[in-house]
Amino acid sequence: MSYSKRIFFGDDPADDHIRLLIAAQTIKRIEAFKFQIPLRRRNRHMGRPHWDPRWPSIVQSAAEELKIETIQVNDQQRFKTKADSDAVKDLSEKRYKERINALCPPSFRPGTKAHR
């Protein structure tokens, strides 16, 4: 077993101090990024997959375009300020609507009678 696997997945008491140090550094890094945008968004345009596969890449590309520092924690993109989070979310929503309008025929777009 490699040393990193032994630290992260093992239960040897000799490695406890290293695990605690890594956990403390991780918590300190995550705490700086208080505001989040969920990367899971229900797919309302097709039956499957349940979560929309387009949304995570749209959010990440919007953050890169705006040159905003982010980190990803599980299914969340996290930001340092509310203004950064709002800017990325607004641009992501705009890009998402553009992509849906390009992919879906008009009768299946959200908000139309045929969509309901």
64 lies in which domain range? 37-116
88 and 46 in a common domain: yes
58 and 97 in a common domain: yes
50 and 2 in a common domain: no
48 and 5 in a common domain: no
Domain count, the chain: 2
**Global pTM value:** 0.75
* Cis amide prior to 49 (ω within 30 degrees): yes
pLDDT digits (tens, 9 = 90+) for 41-62: 887 766 677 888 889 999 999 9
104 and 67 in a common domain: yes
Residue the block writes with tokens 């992919």? 103
Q: Which residue has the higher pLDDT, 110 or 67?
A: 67
- Which backbone phi and psi does 112 adopt, to 5 degrees? -95, 160
Kind and range of the H or E run holding 69: none
Q: What are the strands of the beta sheet with 76-79, ordered from one edge?
A: 35-38, 76-79, 70-73
Distance from C-alpha of 74 to C-alpha of 72, rounded to nearest angstrom? 6
